[in-house]
Chains A and B, each alone.
Chain A
Amino acid sequence: EAGVTQSPTHLIKTRGQQATLRCSPISGHTSVYWYQQALGLGLQFLLWYDEGEERNRGNFPPRFSGRQFPNYSSELNVNALELEDSALYLCASTGRVGTEAFFGQGTRLTVV
């Protein structure tokens, strides 16, 4: 069974551009979390989608947004990129809310 998949693996963007990151959850999982992990730091919660709805968002500016599609895959969009947005972006999926979450391999975003 396929795990959580994220694309692209690496992404290099220029300051001010937009980035789109994608996540496909494990088959049967309906909940998707997005986290940001800057180099050497902990996981910062970005967004949580469940059954197509945004359940919660972390303390990030509105230029971080996303959505969940009917097939439960998800997209994270970051507008007006800043240098400090450079980080590993991780997606995790769960089945029933409250159960164990599994992570994808992450997207390494570099803003230059």
Chain B
Amino acid sequence: LAKTTQPISMDSYEGQEVNITCSHNNIATNDYITWYQQFPSQGPRFIIQGYKTKVTNEVASLFIPADRKSSTLSLPRVSLSDTAVYYCLVNTDKLIFGTGTRLQVFP
């Protein structure tokens, strides 16, 4: 199973762009890369998913280099409400969560 590695925590300020990088050296050909967000006392919430190159939606962008051994979640102009834990996962038929990155956004 592909294991992911990401920073334990990050700090930012409102209005800044935040980039969280995740490594997944053992990713398989058919695996997707998925990011989830989790607030306290809630279940994780899907943010974005990709297979290669770049994916963008209304809340984030996901950059995946050609070798797919890493990926970067980009959150443009974060706000206080983006304070949460962010999980990078390699999506096989089940989700294997790591400990995630705890993002703290300051005013």
Q: Do A and B bind each other?
A: no
